[in-house]
Amino acid sequence: MKNLKHNRWAVCIAILLFAVSLTASVISMAGVIYMTEEGYYDPRGTSFYNSRLCRDTTNDYADTVFNDYFQLYQDPEKTGSDIFRLKQYEAEFSGENTNFLFSVTDQAGSILLSNLEQTAIGQQMTYEYEMDSKTYILNAYVKSPIEQQDNYSMAYKIFTALYALRFVLIGVMLAAILLGGILFVFLMAAAGHKKGHEGIVLSGQDKIPLDLYAAMAALGLFMILMVSVELGRSLGSIWTQNIWQAALLCLLFLTASFLCLAASMTMAARLKRGQWWKNTVLYRMLSWIARFFRSMKRWLSGFFGQLPMLWKTLTIFTGYLLINGLLVIFFFVSIDSLGEVLVPVLWLLFNLAAVVGLCVITLQMVRLKKAGEMIAAGDFHRKIDTRGMLWDFKAHGESLNRIGDGMAKAVEEHMKSERLKTELITNVSHDLKTPLTSIVNYVDLLKKENIENKNVLEYIEVLDRQSNRLKKLTEDLVEASKASTGNIALNPVRTDVVELLNQSFGEYTERFAESQLEAVIRASQSEASILADGRLLWRVFDNLLNNICKYSQPGTRVYLDVEVVQEKVRISFKNISKYPLNISPDELVERFTRGDSARTTEGSGLGLSIAKSLIELQKGSFDLSVDGDLFKVVISFDRITP
């Protein structure tokens, strides 16, 4: 099969056989349909005298007898040629020359013309004719059996042959359809292949533009159809007398088969080659139009691209007004002519085009506006598609894309820097833990020794105090690193804020008394439950209360409030600082920032930073404000309704 589709002779033979099989299948199918309608396949059998062949022959003979023979017989003014023709009809319809018997009578039943004789009759039909406002009856009879050589004998031979071949014709039809299908598949597979060439090779007909080829093929099929219809009409009912016309119909159908097959093969080759639409007249015209408009667009872009935006707007608007003014002038000039209708149509189309252009410009501005909003919202990776944009809009879109790229790069660099800082803190903290643990352990061992030298004991006390301070700083560094990176396991549960705050304050009662601080706790009467990790929230409260103890002015009050405001639970810590707060709230929550700018108190400066990170990890908000020496922290969470 693979080699045959490259063989030219095999393809040519397949084409010829396909056309023959298609013609044979159609003719045999028409014959089967015809014989089915005529009862050829009736198990009870059928008779020639009941067939259409016999009826059509009788109809033809009846028309000939009445319209020619009878009218010539009734004509009182016969010429010599009329008499000669009359004798021919008498001889043709004499008993020894015809199987057709007839009698023509008037309304009274009087026989006006007849060739009846005593013989067996196989078919009888009656016809009614009008002539000169008179009605005539023609009784037609067909002899049985058919003995004379006339049209009946030819029809009888055809009937006998068809009846004998009725089942053979079904087999021929099925075989022709099967063979035609196989050959069609082979020819579609062979289309575009040529011996000695790889891939699809287009032939001469494949290079004709497809729409032009389709138009010519359709025209050819239409002409064949028209000729076939005319031939079918000329055949009439007695097709047995026009065998050559029937043969011509078969030849026309064979031609149509070749034409359809050629169209199918060229379409198959074009589809295999791909991009078949490019070889069409329509595509070439549209491509030329597109190239023309692209060149015009480039020219306009080059011209207007050099103008400032204001001058572009003024130029376009002036051109719009000028064209509208010219159309109005043409309308008044062309009144009572074709222009009276044409100019308003042009005016409408021009203004519709102007509206479309305005909509395009508006849509481009909307795209630029959305892009600016996305960049403002922090979406730096979304790009504006500037294809199709005009002049300054395209330049502005490209500028926004570059701004987004620059800001995305800056954010990425900032995130990288923050990540490196966090990693540095984590790594250094872990590296400090090992030697620091050894120092703490050895200091503890020294404290257990029996040392009498007071100076040595003081040194050991200093080492113990400073090593513990360094240990606390290292732990705070690790915790700050985890909190800022979110590397902490969360276990959010329903938490009663008032209860947790009271428990936290309970552990600081003695320290508050030592620092001479008076605590005022005000709790909301409504249930103040939130979804939070109690362990981490306690760590936040611990940091804040610890800061209050260290940095509050002795002899002042500390306010701890819990209130429910608009389905929000707000926890506030307020105290008076003993040190001047000459820094901003944002600086206070930075790492290593302490309220004691002289850094005389103990502490790492990480407490507020850790607290803020832990709150934000739990979907809460942490707000710090400073008013003179008043230090205030407000923590907010969504309230969980009972």
Model confidence at 248, pLDDT cuts 50, 70, 90, reads confident
Cα 150 to Cα 156: distance, rounded to the nearest angstrom: 10
Tokens of 84: 């000669």
| Mean pLDDT, the chain, whole residue set | 77
Q: Coil, helix or strand for 349? A: helix
Query: Mean pLDDT lowest for which of 183-192, 295-304, 435-444, 486-495?
Result: 295-304
Does the structure show a pLDDT above 50 at 591? no
Helix 52-64 and helix 151-164, axial crossing angle in degrees, nearest 10: 170
pLDDT of residue 337: 58
Of residues 633 and 12, the one with the higher pLDDT is 633
**Per-residue confidence band for 392, with pLDDT thresholds at 50, 70 and 90:** low
What is the Cα–Cα distance from 417 to 422, expressed in whole angstroms? 9
User: Would you tell me how many other CB atoms lie within 10 Å of the CB of residue 261?
Assistant: 19
Beta carbons of 390 and 302 less than 8 angstroms apart: no
Question: Over the stretch 358-377, which tens digit does the pLDDT of each residue have?
Answer: 787 777 777 777 776 776 76
Q: What is the CATH number of domain 489-638?
A: 3.30.565.10
Q: Enumerate the domain spans of the chain.
A: 29-164, 202-306, 307-375, 434-483, 489-638
Q: Identify the CA nearest to 541 among candidates 497, 579, 576, 577.
A: 497
Q: Is the pLDDT of residue 240 over 50?
A: no
What pLDDT does residue 638 have?
87
Confidence of residue 380 (pLDDT cuts 50, 70, 90): low
| Average pLDDT of the segment spanning 600-624 | 72
Long-range contacts of 25-30 (CB under 8 A, 24+ apart): 25/173, 25/176, 25/177, 25/180, 26/253, 27/250, 27/253, 28/169, 28/170, 28/172, 28/173, 28/176, 29/173
User: What pLDDT score was predicted for residue 149?
Assistant: 87
The two three-digit tokens of residue 628, written as one number: 């003179």
Q: Mean pLDDT throughout 543-550? A: 86
Q: Where are the alpha helices (DSSP H) in 65-165?
A: 71-74, 80-92, 151-164
Question: What count of Cα atoms within 13 Å lies in the side-chain half-sphere of residue 243?
Answer: 5
pTM (two decimals): 0.41
Ranking 159-173, 209-223, 293-307 by mean pLDDT, the lowest is 293-307
Confidence label for 239 from pLDDT (cuts 50, 70 and 90): very low
Tokens of 352: 């519709």
Three-state DSSP class for residue 129: strand
Please write the tens of the pLDDT for every residue from 72-88: 888 888 788 888 888 98
